[in-house]
Structure 1
Amino acid sequence: MVAREITKDVFWVGALDFDRRLFDELIPLPEGTSYNSYLIRGSEKTALIDTVDPKKEEELIVNLIKLGIEQIDYIIINHAEQDHAGSLPMVLEMYPRAKVVTNEKCRDLLVALLQIPAESVMVIKDGETLSLGNKTLQFHLTPWTHWPETQVTFLVEDRILFPCDLFGFHQATSELYITNEAEAYRSAKRYFAEIMMPFRNSIRGYIPKVRDLNPAMIAPSHGPINKNPKFMLDAYEDWVSDTVKNVVVLPYVSMHGSTQILVDHLVGALIQRGVEVKPFNLSHTDIGELAYALVDAATVVVGTPTVLFGPHPQVVSATYLANALKPKMRFASVIGSYGWGGKAAETIVKMLDHVKVEVIEPVVIKGLPDEAAVVAINRLADDIAKKHKEIGIV
């Protein structure tokens, strides 16, 4: 790794992880990721903002050594999760006179997760500042923009915002800055869907405060630095809003073909009615792509065969995930088939207890779909199109 200067006396000293393909043992990483750490050298004091994943801590230390950093006075921790704070014990071992600077909730988590001595932490409050001499750090608490202890740090003189997970995305790239906003938009939206969507109501309240700071750059903890903050703030403002699009997301599994027939007919019926539909066969779906589609879809229709007495396990998993991500969808339904019994539709509906949706009458048939099943699917397509029209998106 190579430390790189962002602006005078402000350096990227993090690590790139080109080979990582799974995050939290759950989230696919098709482009790898980065763990961004930043070194600020003031005229009187030196500060490190966030660390890196413990697997990459040697790269962080090497970068600091190559820069000739003999002393770090402050280590700012914006978020206690291990991919950002996990190398803190190593950095403190290398720079034992450094003071950890964070908020009270984050301090408590650092003590619990990393066994950092509480007395080594300087607790700051919302709006407080810390002088490095000719550079000033300003701290803003942003709880529940991911975890309850998250905060952002603003470098006042250079107008650089260090928001940790907020406004970033998973990508390992040799480019220090975003160079293709169209590609960055897609990666950032996927990241929002996978990580930030459950907290969209909290994030919505902080966007105006970030705009008021008028940052010249956003330097997140994952992905390249953004030199056009308006681009990302505008995107987030859309994603966290209550506005939905004329889209149906259709995750499904079919074991013996009956549910597949229903899915195929519903896809065609929705297209005929001017409704965009995005089917996802869960047997080989990238869950990040499914989450991406859920960000602004108006409706979700879950397709499942019946396994014993309930929905297919892959459908259960996807439904659990969708419920946990809490997308802003307005309507939901279920289609599927069974052989000798079961309550798949009822189970799926009960699992969506964290999202406030209107349930449109499901279509669950016995055996191979017949003409009556086709009529029922057409009715479902009509109902969806009507609901979309009622909220003004058709």
Structure 2
Amino acid sequence: MTYNLIKEQVYSVGAIDWDRRIFDELINIPNGTSYNSFIVKGKDKTALIDTVDPTKTNELRDNLKKLDVDIDYIVINHAEQDHSGTIPKILKKYSDAIIVTNTKCKEFLSEFLPLTDANFRVVGDGDSLDLGGKTLEFIITPWVHWPDTMVTYLNENKILFSCDFFGSHLATSELFSNEDIYKLAKRYYAEIMMPFRTIITKNLEKLENLNIDIIAPSHGPLYKNPEFIMNAYKDWTSNNTKNEVIIPYISMHGSTKRMVEYLVDSLIDRGITVKPLNLTLTESGELALDLVDATTMVIASPTVLTGPHPSVVYATYLANALRPKLKLVSVMGSYGWGGRMLDLITGMIGNLKVEMISPLIIKGFPKEEDYKKIEAMANEIVSKHEELGIIEKR
């Protein structure tokens, strides 16, 4: 990669990671990612905004060499290694550069990297840095998605360097996004940002008065249409859900699968959008994505020993950790000789502020009376969706 001109004297100098397929040893990223880093050249001073993952140090150094700049400031919006890990090597080249960041981020960087107080200039919410005809303004946006996060606004060019805010995991040679980015940005939000939904809403409000032409996140392409991604975030972080039921499930011998299939058909017949997610085939990112808008989740599992299938345990744990805006949850499944599956699953969702729909745990393969109970579950879900105003009463 080489550097790219964004606006006059503003350049993208980061790196594309075409081959990366897992992030933080946790998140699958089938489309790769990028580590976006930026140069802002004023008349008097030059600032580098964020660095790159240490694995891409050479790319960043090569881009800076091609651009032939001297760096006075290194603005770090967030302390994670994919933003900050290259700082020591950049300082070897630009030894007089000062790291500009907030108090919490300085604290983290001092723990993660061999840095001293002399390396830092600490800024607070609303502070600015004059580069000579280019003014950087700093806005503290904690818990998007760490407590140290801030964003940087370039006043004269109306560019918001938004850190992980509004990002996406996508390796692409295109500098700017198109509407195809929606699903990838939504998945990024679901996996990384959703647990902090309420706080993100407040941070969105802090950006409302900014006149923004371009949003430049730390991962994925940039946005020339900032309203597109900001409106998407307002929707995702709102309390509004859609007329959707998701059913993460596992079936070992066919009983639970038959129950799920019958429930899916029953809900479709009643005008509800249903997404069954076979956990033997569904990766965690797909589950997270579908959790963003769903009103109801039905967790379906066979009984393994005395509890739910391990894949269901993980899916339940993930849903609880991500804290989506679900309104309703239920449990269904089958057992052979007994167990505590229902108690264990319901005990794992304490973070979810939901109402429980009547569960259905049966013995063996479903029988005629069990199908009637599944019909009753479908009716109860429809009734609750009507009460919530998500669908009109029949």
**Taking structure 2 as the reference length, what is the TM-score of the superposition?**
0.98
Tell me by how many angstroms 1:115 deviates.
3.2
Tell me by how many angstroms 1:134 deviates.
1.0
Name segments (4+ residues, structure 1) moved above 6 Å: none
Tell me by how many angstroms 1:296 deviates.
1.0
Which residue matches 1:141? 140
Which of 316, 332, 335 is equivalent to 1:335? Answer: 332
Which residue matches 1:38? 38
Which of 193, 197, 221 is equivalent to 1:196? Answer: 193
Separation (CA, whole Å) in 1 of partners of 2:318 and 2:93: 41
Q: CA RMSD in A?
A: 0.9
Which of 203, 206, 212 is equivalent to 2:203? Answer: 206
Separation (CA, whole Å) in 2 of partners of 1:184 and 1:281: 25
Separation (CA, whole Å) in 2 of partners of 1:83 and 1:345: 40
**1:255 paired to 2:255:** no
Which residue matches 1:101? 100
Q: Give the secondary-structure state (helix, strand or coil) at the position aligned to 2:287.
A: helix
Tell me by how many angstroms 1:22 deviates.
0.8
Counterpart of 1:260, as a letter, is K
**1:230 paired to 2:222:** no
Separation (CA, whole Å) in 1 of partners of 2:92 and 2:345: 50
Verify the 8 A CA contact 1:165 1:221 in the aligned structure 2: yes
Counterpart of 1:37, as a letter, is S
Which residue matches 2:241? 244
Separation (CA, whole Å) in 2 of partners of 1:88 and 1:68: 18
Gaps of 5+ in 2: none
Deviation digits for residues 284-323 of structure 1 (CA, Å, limit 9, x no counterpart): 1021111111001000000101111111000001111111
Tell me by how many angstroms 1:209 deviates.
2.2
Separation (CA, whole Å) in 2 of partners of 1:174 and 1:121: 33
Which of 329, 346, 350 is equivalent to 2:347? Answer: 350
**1:366 paired to 2:363:** yes
Which residue matches 2:11? 11
Q: Give the secondary-structure state (helix, strand or coil) at the position aligned to 2:217.
A: coil
Q: Give the secondary-structure state (helix, strand or coil) at the position aligned to 1:163.
A: strand
Query: Share of identical aligned residues, percent?
Result: 55
Which residue matches 2:305? 308
For this pair of structures, how many residues does the alignment match?
Answer: 391
Which of 215, 219, 224 is equivalent to 1:218? Answer: 215
Gaps of 5+ in 1: none
Which residue matches 1:279? 276
Counterpart of 1:203, as a letter, is I
Listed as ranges, the matches of 1:146-185 within 5 Å are 146-178=145-177, 180-181=178-179, 183-185=180-182
Counterpart of 2:113, as a letter, is L
Separation (CA, whole Å) in 1 of partners of 2:365 and 2:216: 55
Separation (CA, whole Å) in 2 of partners of 1:346 and 1:98: 57
Q: Give the secondary-structure state (helix, strand or coil) at the position aligned to 1:351.
A: coil
Separation (CA, whole Å) in 2 of partners of 1:168 and 1:192: 8
Separation (CA, whole Å) in 1 of partners of 2:31 and 2:101: 31
Tell me by how many angstroms 1:94 deviates.
1.6
Which residue matches 2:286? 289
Deviation digits for residues 309-347 of structure 1 (CA, Å, limit 9, x no counterpart): 111000001111111110000000011011111111111
**1:118 paired to 2:117:** yes
**Taking structure 1 as the reference length, what is the TM-score of the superposition?**
0.98
Listed as ranges, the matches of 1:56-67 within 5 Å are 56-67=56-67
Which residue matches 1:87? 86
Which residue matches 1:2? 2
Tell me by how many angstroms 1:117 deviates.
2.0
Deviation digits for residues 249-296 of structure 1 (CA, Å, limit 9, x no counterpart): 110000111100111001001111111110100011021111111001
Which residue matches 1:21? 21
Deviation digits for residues 48-94 of structure 1 (CA, Å, limit 9, x no counterpart): 0001111111100110011112x211000001111111111111122
Separation (CA, whole Å) in 1 of partners of 2:369 and 2:118: 71
**1:317 paired to 2:314:** yes
Counterpart of 1:213, as a letter, is L
